[in-house]
Amino acid sequence: MTLLAKSADDRGVEETLFDHSVRVIETTRELCERLPFPRPVRQRLARMLDTAAALHDMGKGASGFQRCLRKEQPNWNGWRHEVLSAAFASTFASIPDEVVFAVLTHHKQIPGQQEDGSLRQFGDYFEGWRSMYQEFAESHAEIVRLWAEICDYIARPELKTEAAQAFSGVRLGPEWLNSTRQLREVGFARRNEASLLRGLLVSGDHLASGHAVLPPMVQLRDFSIGIDPRPFQSQASQATGHAILSAPTGSGKTEAALLWAAANQAENGRLFYVLPYTAAINAMHARLQRFLQGRQDSVGLLHGRAAHHLYACLASDYPADAVAAQTEARARARLAREMYHPVRVCTPQQLLRYTLHGKGWEQMLGEIPGACLVFDEVHSYDPELAGLTLGTARLFARMGAKTLFASATLPRFLRKEIEQLFPTTSIVPDPTKERDRHIMDRKRHSIEIRRGTVLDALPEIIDHAKSGRSVLIVCNHVRSAQCVFRALRGQLPDENVLLFHGRFNMRDRREKERALNSELTLPRVLVATQVVEVSLDISYSRGYFEPAPVDALAQRMGRVNRKGDSPVPVVILEGAINSHPLYSSDLTRESLGRLGAIDGALSEHDLVEICDAVYAEGYVGRQRDAFEERLNHPFFVDFERTLVAGRHERWTESVIDKSDGRADVLPRNLRAEYEALRKEKKWLDADALLVNTPIKRCWQLVDSHVDPWEIDLHYDNQLGLSEPGEGGLK
């Protein structure tokens, strides 16, 4: 009887245990070859991983497991095949504990206080051990024959002879399977290597199961940025090591960052381009694909809703088959979470999943050494995220990565914080060089600080729009932006006004991002929240903003007169429509005061000086405490002491996403459409109707007894999800 690894798929095709094992062996070999380590290290790891891949599913040979795969019995009593695989591995004296550990834990984590998702163990035996062992013995002859074939494949004939021995259990003792004892009794080097092997085996198993073909590695210096570099960009191309890049928005920071990365990329080094907002990440993903012409598949997109963006990108490839397009999009989104893409665009939170030991954190051990990380804007007004980001950067630097912080307005205090973590090179426009001096002397905005709110400025905004000028309005809250949009829509044609914020579902968000990425469809008036602040290459001729700290305002101004030389008006209103504070009132007040004191047009130099002045004291009081606590998280500063092989932290997701009080909910008026799409097996289209929203204030309107949760608030594709008490459009 041929032993199986997978049940028959939709086409009725089964996968044998030999074929699957070989596929995992080949995939993990390729992963090893792409590691950023010296060749002798890669070769030693490859030999260990060959053995782990060969062994990882041998427990599936048990007779009961085979009956399940052949649909002859419904389940296997919750038993774990990897326990048998690890026990089989334990019979070979030459196989180190780290390999046995990787085999045992390639699906579940080690037992601990949080039993959910853990291997279960009672006394000295794993649950069901004796019954599993009996079923393994029933298939022993077939398993030994299969093992001989696999040993021949990996050129390890010496392992054949020990395979006939009986085994009594998993060799690993409590020093490996108990978190506390592992930290106390197993040295860091062994814990680290066991974690690396586990991460490689898990990723190799996932990729092989999906029959994924790894894209080529990328040598960034082989690609052209397509411009004649400015002097500061040339400086970036020659800077080695960690760096801080300070240059105005619209001056070519992205190109400079890529030139820096090309100069600092190690052999097999990855590139992580880190941005704070989803819209900016989607735009950067497309931009990097254009930059890496011919290597587009090497660029991954890593954020919580990546599948939806990829689905939209695949529409032209599958014009008449939405089911095939969504299947491919979901597969590609999953690949970005594996050791697959050598270039990835992501949020800081995705990197925190590594450093805060979230699920799959072991991947960083094979991808961060030798990597280049570009942090495009670290928001000074968020001390918690700033602390986590800098703590992550410090740990990655210790692991051998190089980091570039790019910003238009990085305050001096935050620059000093970075410089204290690791030595950095400063990359700035050179005022003695004409092309650099031009961008620094450029005065693109004349600032007016005005009493009242954006609503008070609507008459002149409408006049500007009717006369053909484009206007960007940025509000601090979704509700405020909706209020402004309602007022404008009654005065201007619908096609001239677009509302963009975070409380749209993914279907409508995709359409709005598409409109904002096309010069031909750019709306005359854009009403938005902070989602437009970073890396969207849009340019408006007027700006009207709600009050915010200077670094946030600078990002908003970067979307107004982006490449112009003559100043255009930017009006900052002192009052906010929604009184709930989003930013520090002290920072905001100081920012508006200093901006209002500028005589004439605002230069880039003025903007930097104001940012330094506003943040002159840095973080103080509670902000300082929050920053320090997160910067010095034990997982960052005591990495060696806190690393537990085979475990991840369940709390990480809620901490890094601040997901408490937020949920993906289905507006009640979209339920019928949702069910119809599900019936057609268009799962991503159905999922794209959900809205991620804070629900603390409207919990009484949420029905949590249905799947997905339903909210009794009206949804409209132009307005988004209504606020409680507002009903629908008026």
Q: Is the pLDDT of residue 655 over 70?
A: no
pLDDT average, residue stretch 225-236: 94
Of 328, 308, 307, 325, the C-alpha closest to 316 is: 325
Q: Is the pLDDT of residue 269 over 90?
A: yes
Q: Within this chain, do residues 341 and 478 fall inside the same structural domain, yes or no?
A: no
Q: How confident is the model at residue 117 (pLDDT cuts 50, 70, 90)?
A: low
pLDDT average, residue stretch 394-419: 94
pLDDT average, residue stretch 171-187: 93
Q: Is the pLDDT of residue 222 over 70?
A: yes
Q: Within this chain, do residues 81 and 183 fall inside the same structural domain, yes or no?
A: yes
**The CATH number of the domain where 512 resides is what?**
3.40.50.300
Q: Within this chain, do residues 238 and 339 fall inside the same structural domain, yes or no?
A: yes
Tokens of residue 191, six digits: 């814990």
Q: How confident is the model at residue 315 (pLDDT cuts 50, 70, 90)?
A: low
pLDDT in the model for residue 534: 65
Q: Is the pLDDT of residue 113 over 60?
A: no
Q: How confident is the model at residue 695 (pLDDT cuts 50, 70, 90)?
A: confident
Residues 6+ apart with CB under 8 A from 542: 461, 464, 469, 470, 471, 472, 560, 568, 569, 570, 571
pLDDT average, residue stretch 120-127: 69
pLDDT above 70 as % of the chain: 94
Q: Within this chain, do residues 448 and 539 fall inside the same structural domain, yes or no?
A: yes
Amino acid found at 126: F
Boundary of a domain, candidates 149, 174, 209 = 209
Integer CA distances (angstroms), 41 to 32, 50, 266, 720, in order? 9, 14, 15, 53
Tokens of residue 399, six digits: 């692991």
Integer CA distances (angstroms), 67 to 56, 72, 78, 687, in order? 19, 5, 14, 35
pLDDT in the model for residue 143: 94
pTM assigned to the model: 0.87
How many domains does one find in the chain? 4
Q: How confident is the model at residue 563 (pLDDT cuts 50, 70, 90)?
A: confident
Measured CA to CA, the distance from residue 326 to residue 76 in angstroms comes to: 32
Q: Which residue has the higher pLDDT, 352 or 54?
A: 54
Q: Within this chain, do residues 691 and 613 fall inside the same structural domain, yes or no?
A: no
Q: Within this chain, do residues 448 and 569 fall inside the same structural domain, yes or no?
A: yes
| Alpha helices by DSSP H, 580-638 | 585-596, 604-614, 621-631, 634-637
Range of the domain at 477: 442-618
Q: Which residue has the higher pLDDT, 323 or 466?
A: 466
Q: How confident is the model at residue 349 (pLDDT cuts 50, 70, 90)?
A: confident
Contact between residue 338 and residue 269 where contact means Cβ atoms under 8 Å apart: no
In a domain, 82, yes or no: yes
Bridge partner list, 300: 344
Boundary of a domain, candidates 379, 411, 433 = 433
Of 134, 131, 86, the C-alpha closest to 107 is: 86
pLDDT in the model for residue 213: 93
Q: Is the pLDDT of residue 730 over 50?
A: no
Q: Which residue has the tokens 């429509």?
A: 577
Q: How confident is the model at residue 728 (pLDDT cuts 50, 70, 90)?
A: very low
Q: Within this chain, do residues 606 and 668 fall inside the same structural domain, yes or no?
A: no
Q: Is the pLDDT of residue 658 over 60?
A: no
In a domain, 676, yes or no: yes
pLDDT in the model for residue 639: 95
pLDDT in the model for residue 727: 42
pLDDT in the model for residue 553: 94
In a domain, 260, yes or no: yes
Weakest-pLDDT range from 372-376, 395-399, 467-471, 651-655: 651-655
pLDDT in the model for residue 659: 43
Q: Within this chain, do residues 463 and 580 fall inside the same structural domain, yes or no?
A: yes
Q: Within this chain, do residues 388 and 271 fall inside the same structural domain, yes or no?
A: yes
Q: Within this chain, do residues 450 and 596 fall inside the same structural domain, yes or no?
A: yes
Q: How confident is the model at residue 167 (pLDDT cuts 50, 70, 90)?
A: confident
Q: Within this chain, do residues 172 and 35 fall inside the same structural domain, yes or no?
A: yes
Task: Give residue-wise pLDDT tens across range 565-583.
Answer: 789 999 999 999 988 888 8
**Cα 180 versus chain centre, distance:** 30
In a domain, 639, yes or no: no
pLDDT in the model for residue 660: 45
pLDDT average, residue stretch 56-65: 96
Q: Is the pLDDT of residue 42 over 90?
A: yes
Task: Give residue-wise pLDDT tens across range 351-389.
Answer: 988 999 988 999 999 999 999 999 998 878 789 989 999
Please, what is the average pLDDT of the chain?
Answer: 89
In a domain, 107, yes or no: yes
DSSP 8-state secondary structure symbol assigned to residue 540 = B
pLDDT average, residue stretch 500-514: 90
In a domain, 637, yes or no: no
pLDDT average, residue stretch 245-264: 94
Boundary of a domain, candidates 179, 209, 239 = 209
In a domain, 654, yes or no: no
Contact between residue 350 and residue 590 where contact means Cβ atoms under 8 Å apart: no
Q: Within this chain, do residues 88 and 234 fall inside the same structural domain, yes or no?
A: no
Count the helices and strands in the chain (H runs, E runs).
32, 24
In a domain, 643, yes or no: no
